Amino acid sequence: MNVQRSAARLLLVDDDPDMLRLLTTLIETEFGGDIKIESLVQAAAARDRLEQGGVDILLTDLEMPGVNGLALLRCAKRRNAYTQVLFITGHSTQEALLDALDLGATDYLLKPINRREVLHVIRQAHERQQRWQQALAGTWQQRREMVACQ
Amino acid sequence: MSNQAAIYSSFDADPDFAELVQWFVKALPLRMRAMDRAFHGGDLSELGRLAHQMKGAAGSYGFPQITLAADELEHAVRLGDSRAAIEQRFRRLSTLCQQARVSEPERDIANRSSAELAANFLSD
């Protein structure tokens, strides 16, 4: 099976513009064209964006005014089950973290961020997302071949 | 302010991030002004939120001292400490923010107008 790799689409959400700027630069510097970034400062706008689909990795603050990170996770997973969801948080309750795990969060990072740790976690999420994408593309290919043989 | 009082970002030797740190440092007075408004307006919930934001951002930009002070302020607000205790922590944080520097010599961004930087900060 030969599946063409395309740039992963990462949605970055944080209510602090300085954090968005830092994370965007960090990810772009490391991954270049392998990851295409969209960044949003308002969680409600992020929810609307997720509803449109096409997000492979969601990196979001957990606690934001209005719509919180857990709501974004639910939205992302409903739209695309293999979207990798990474939380970034300064302080969270045990309950919020357990909810995040239950709902299928991939990983979480603590603020202040450690740049190497951020890149490591994103690289893992990127690889996992690519594996799921290839596996699913493979099953579609097998189905097409089975139909063609019948 | 003397150079002895200055605190520098631990990113100062990283060219990829130098300009970002400059933007962050230049915008610190805007953050402190917003916190000052919240404190003097009695909006402690907003003060706590802004302190929480500062805690996450400052250390991420290489200023762990500011993160520590912001954490103390956030805790004081959350625990419902006295106004005097909150003010003391707020002043400590404010002093550290005034001492924050990118590196020596600071680059051309330091010469950009506050209005330009404010517009950039608020438009994001």
Per-residue pLDDT reduced to its tens digit, A101-111:
888 999 999 99
Q: Residue B68 has which token pair?
A: 């520590």
The predicted structure's pLDDT at residue B114:
56
The predicted structure's pLDDT at residue B93:
98
The predicted structure's pLDDT at residue B99:
95
Q: Measured between CB atoms, which of B16, B60, B124 is closest to A112?
A: B60
A13: nearest Cα among A44, A54, A51: A44
B62: nearest Cα among B98, B7, B9: B9
More confident position, B50 or A96 = B50
The predicted structure's pLDDT at residue A72:
96
DSSP assignments along A59-104, one per residue: EEESS-SSS-HHHHHHHHHHH-TT-EEEEEESS--HHHHHHHHHTT
Q: Do B52 and A91 touch (CB under 8 A)?
A: yes
A2 pLDDT higher than 60: no
The predicted structure's pLDDT at residue A140:
66
**In Å, how far is A17's CA from the nearest CA of chain B?**
6
More confident position, B110 or A74 = A74
The whole-number average pLDDT for the span B57-72 is 96
CA angle (A102, A106, A109) in 5-degree steps: 105
A132 pLDDT higher than 90: no
Query: Which residue in B60, B68, B73, B123 has the most chain A C-beta atoms within 10 A of its own C-beta, making it the best mutation to test that interface?
Result: B60
A44 pLDDT higher than 90: yes
Assign B1 a pLDDT band (cuts: 50, 70, 90).
Answer: very low
Q: Do A112 and B23 touch (CB under 8 A)?
A: no
The predicted structure's pLDDT at residue A64:
87
B124 pLDDT higher than 50: no
Mean pLDDT, rounded, of chain B: 85
Report d(CA A98, CA A101) in Å as an integer.
5
CB < 8 Å to B29, chain A: none
Q: Helix B15-40 and helix A17-31: axis angle, to 10°?
A: 160
Mean pLDDT, rounded, of chain A: 89
Helix (H, G, I), strand (E, B) or coil at A146: helix
The whole-number average pLDDT for the span B97-115 is 66
A1 pLDDT higher than 60: no
The whole-number average pLDDT for the span B103-114 is 54
Q: Are A84 and A57 in contact (CB under 8 A)?
A: yes
pLDDT digit string (tens) for B2-17?
445 899 998 867 787 8
Percent of chain A with pLDDT over 90: 63
